[in-house]
Amino acid sequence: MELSDNDMEYEGDIRVYLSHHYDGTGRSEIGTDALAVQAHSPTMLLGTSYSSPRFEFTAIHEFGHALGLMHAHQHPEANIPWDKEKTYELYRQKFGWSRAQVDLNVFPLPRDASRTYAAYDRHSVMHYEISNEYTLGDWKQTENPHISAADIAFIRRIYP
């Protein structure tokens, strides 16, 4: 079968949309979930200006998702002492997220037999920055704009 010029425009498995809205967000299909996305639709959105200091982090983080990585702060063994009500309010104000969206993208997820796990890595590029203001006690995590050694080891494990 020969592809038309129109089909060839969309032949990549990872199709990135650089949003002109620049709201600081990003999203990506997780791993092979991208294969289920229609060929003319993006599988990744980068809503951060390339001139922003956060662009590198956002791009690396979203490509981590494209490789199949989940959020590190959602690891079942993260044990982050969240102040859930303050966190719900932060994401509602900043992104308009519902409580369900925060539960799905921020708080720990239960262990799932269909997922492959490594040890919790608090320095992973897949970890959100967490301000002490949104936790109980004295717990915070800065954003790491670089792939950690544990990220590299895990990617090597799932892509031998």
Range of the domain at 110: 69-160
pLDDT tens digits, one per residue of 64-120: 999 989 999 999 999 999 999 999 999 999 889 999 999 999 999 999 998 889 999
Spatial distance between the Cα atoms of 77 and 63, rounded to a whole number of angstroms: 23
- What is the sign of the dihedral through the CA atoms of 38, 22, 142 and 98? negative
User: Has residue 78 been placed in a domain?
Assistant: yes
The reported pTM is 0.81
Tell me how many domains the chain contains.
2
Final residue in a domain of this structure, among 29, 53, 77: 53
Three-class SS of residue 113?
coil
Do residues 99 and 40 both lie within one domain? no
- What is the enclosing helix (H) or strand (E) of 131? none
User: Has residue 63 been placed in a domain?
Assistant: no
Q: Do 60 and 146 touch, CB atoms closer than 8 A?
A: yes
